[in-house]
Structure 1
Amino acid sequence: MNRHRRHLLGMALLGATGPLLAAPSRRRIPALDVELRAIAADPACELASLSVLAIRAGRVCYAGQFGRRFIGHDGLPDKPVSPGTLFRIASISKLMTTLGLLRLVEDDKAALDADVSGYLGFTLRNPHFPDQAITLRHLLTHTSSLRDDAGYSWGADVALKDVIDAKMYATNAGPGAFFTYCNLGWGVIGTVMERITGERFDRLMRRLLIEPLGLQAGYLPAELPPAALANLATLYRKRTVDTEVWDPAGPWIAQADDYSVKGPSAIDRYVVGTNATPFSPTGGLRISARDMGVVMRMLMGDGPHLLKPATLDLMFSRQWTYDGRNGDTADGLFHCWGLGNEQFPDEAGTRLVERGGFPAVGHLGDAYGLMSVFVLDRQRKNGMIALVGGTSTDPFAPANKGRYSSLARFQERILTALYEHAVT
């Protein structure tokens, strides 16, 4: 289950193991600082880095950073997390991609229920259900009948039309009939966006999302401004890169975004509209918790406006609910879905805080050691963001599983601490 779960949410140094460092933030709650620092340093599941933000009634009420965005080695010093530290936020990127797509929908450049084949320039149909079109709504709600089993990311020299074949489709249900979390669908969405606009996905999202909201963020590290690249968190685990063997007493080992020796690679040769997966609409956005707070306040109707209120209401309207037979919940992780966002009713199995009181929408992320949470209660304008840059033990080992949700136990503890000390 652990490998399956990471596959779903993913798409995605040798150093001392001493106490985590804390970096100052704009807003402090001393008791919360102490509790979060203790969670991050817990030897049962130590965190390489942690950046959190809480919003109450539409305003930021707490921001805190703990740990190291870079763990020193070979004479290179440790670097602490700061309020502006960027993390590769994994599958929360899907929610951000949705915002860009919905801007195109508002501009009548895309329609949620149109056959995506017309945008792609090639036929995208499940060969087992050839008379049923696949739409953007299907892709956004993971009901397209596409599957990840044969891959969902390829190089810039590969065209999607040449790799998507019969083995990438479900045989048990056609489009719209069954929920299965699918990263491949988001590569298709990014490619559709490129075909509609003629712009490369990462640069298109800069125009549609990053610049209008004044964010310091990007999909390719090579295209980040120098100051942002220097403040990018390396992602770690205490396990080797290509195995599931953990060593909690061993060193932190870089998994992604380590540019201490060699800088990031650029993508220079690419035909726009052929395959957006190298830019990872699925999970590749690098952004800070602070700037994610800007996005969250926009979704609450505060701060800069990006989309019409009616569009946001549509985005967060319930599109799929598990009824016992209409989807794969990934061992209870998924229960209900909007357009590009997961939904968390304040009920057994989907509760986000220990004593309840926080029904939410948003997204989770899990890739390369990064574990991220972006959840908001739109009605009350409360929200929480938590970015973890790596764990010392398997976060979904039996001892680390959550007590009342499908989250890891340390995530439950972080969200409950934020909610009880800051949000309420």
Structure 2
Amino acid sequence: MKNSVVLLFLLFVISCAKNHQSMGKVNSPKKDSLDLALDSIYQQKSFAGFGVAIVDENGVLYENGFGFADISNGKKYTPHAIQNIASVSKLFVGIAVVKAQELGKLNLDDAIGKYLPFEVVNPNFPDEKITIRHLVTHTSSIGDNEFYLSKNYFVKPGQNLDGLKTVIDEEQILNTEEAKASMESFLKDMLTADGKWYNEHSFLQHKPGEIYEYSNMATTLAAFIVEHATGKSFDEFTKEYILDPLKMNDSGWKFEQINYQNFSTLYENPMTPVAHYDMITYPDGGFITSVHDLGKFLSELIKGYNGKGRILSKKGYDIYFEPQLNADNFIDRNERNPYSEAYNVGVFAGYSYMGNIGHTGGDPGVTSIMFFNPEENIGRILLVNTNVTDKAGMDAFYGIMDLLGKFK
């Protein structure tokens, strides 16, 4: 930090007066202006709370929290508030897969059957092999059937559930811990012909490698393969090769791995809290972190893109970021939303049509986005502890991203 003690004190006073916390390399009118503009969006009350960060390859340029991590207790949302980040988690799975390849444990072009204790075959194309590359590019032909939502999410034990939402909608339920299966059992039940949740929607009517179709199940299958190839649980592997090297001390995949006192309440809407939950398929959307810690990871991705990363070699990052698909792989390629990852993909690293690299996410009480612009080497993060579903919420969400995009 370049701030003097006096500047830090003044910044603290200003932050308290505005009921949010702002940090950056240098205090400036530009940052103050961004504070005010973001606070103005918060005052629209579409979200209970949210955090933002802007980073470059050297670290944080700006980070801030607005609103509340817990409305009932008056707890403010700061850059160190911890929450689920939903499918932004997939970027960590991609790094883990490439790291396992660098360690000589697997190869992207291996058939997945080489690493699985059960058979996964698209019954519509039984002679076509599914490869790890197919998994990480969402071209595996593996689908997410209705049981993905109804059997996969579980309430954190020990909560007082009075007033907390546990039935999200007619498709998604937060189940009790007693019914929780292992990752392996869940994958078998969903993807093998004799599985109890296997049905005609478990696989698509496309050959593996042919069509991009976003798949949470394929993501978790990739993480499961990392486990079998390396002999380590996925959370242990990512802690050793990603979290510890980057000093992401407030991050993890399970509640016991983080400081639960800093965990934000999640909200269906600003007045309806959702029970805290985890997932059997935690690699595809269960990462828990703060905008401050996630900024460390995004800075590393920017470094890696420019050949200066720490957790993968230059060649490894080239593999991670290399766009794998073309127009023929898409039925409905997203050429409209600059914040969508559904235009192209590396190893789970999504590309928008404008060339931004990153991912979006959404889960009960969570809306998230993390992208960087490879031309300017600046990345932006937005974590919201509230479902964003209506037009007002979406306008506010993308309004925040537009403001962050103008900050240089």
TM-score scaled by structure 2?
0.77
CA distance in 1, matches of 2:281, 2:235: 6
Find the partner of 1:326 among 324, 330, 350: 330
Q: Give aligned-pair identity as a percent.
A: 27
Could you tell me how far 1:330 is from its partner in structure 2?
8.0
Shift of 1:100: 1.5
Unaligned runs of 5+ in 2: 1-17, 153-179, 194-198
Residue in structure 1 matched with residue 293 of structure 2 by the alignment: 291
C-alpha distance in 2 between matches for 1:135 and 1:98: 14
2:366 to 352, 366, 370: 370
Q: CA RMSD in A?
A: 2.6
For 2:327 and 2:361, locate their aligned partners in 1 and report how far apart those are by CA, in whole Å.
21
Distance 1:207 1:327 in 2: 38
1:64-213 map, 5 Å = 64-72=64-72, 77-152=73-148, 154=152, 155-157=180-182, 158-165=185-192, 167=199, 168-213=201-246
**What are the Cα deviations for residues 181-237 of structure 1, in whole angstroms up to 9, with x where unaligned?**
11111121121111112222222221221112110211111332xxx2111112112
Which residue does the alignment assign to 1:400? Answer: 392
Corresponding residue for residue 265 of structure 2:
234
For 1:160 and 1:63, the matched residues in 2 are separated by 38
Contact kept in structure 1, 2:80 and 2:262, CA below 8 Å: yes
Query: CA separation in 2, counterparts of 1:80 and 1:117?
Result: 48
**Structure 1 residues 202 and 40: alpha-carbon distance in aligned structure 2, compared to 1, 3 A threshold:** same
Aligned residue identity for 2:401: L
CA 1:362–1:127 in structure 2 vs 1: closer, same or farther (change >3 Å)? same
1:171 Cα deviation (Å)? 4.4
Amino acid corresponding to residue 77 of structure 2 in structure 1: V
Pick aligned residue for 2:320 from 315, 322, 330: 315
SS at match of 1:366: strand
The CA distance in 2 between the partners of 1:344 and 1:171, in whole Å, is 24
Determine the C-alpha separation between the residues in 2 that align with 1:343 and 1:102.
18
Q: Could you tell me how far 1:57 is from its partner in structure 2?
A: 6.4
The answer as to whether partners of 1:94 and 1:282 remain within 8 angstroms in 2 is yes
Secondary structure (helix, strand or coil) at the match of 1:400 reads helix
Counterpart CA distance in 2 for 1:367 and 1:164 is 22
Contact map agreement 1:374 1:385 (CA 8 A) in 2: yes
1:369 Cα deviation (Å)?
Answer: 2.4
The one-character-per-residue Cα deviations of 1:28-74 (angstroms, maximum 9, x if unpaired) are: 5111000001111214xx211111111246442211111111121xx
Normalised TM-score (structure 1)? 0.75
Contact 2:56 2:302 (C-alpha < 8 Å) held by counterparts: no
Is 1:305 the counterpart of 2:305 in the alignment?
A: no
Whether the 8 Å contact between 1:256 and 1:368 is mirrored in structure 2 is: no
**Matched positions, count:** 343
Q: Which has the higher helix share?
A: 2
Take 1:337 and 1:147, find their aligned partners in 2: how far apart are those partners?
Answer: 18
Q: Structure 1 stretches of 5 or more lacking a match?
A: 1-19, 239-250, 259-264, 266-276, 347-358, 402-407
On the 8 A contact 2:142/2:204 being kept in 1, the answer is no
- Alpha-carbon deviation of 1:279? 5.4
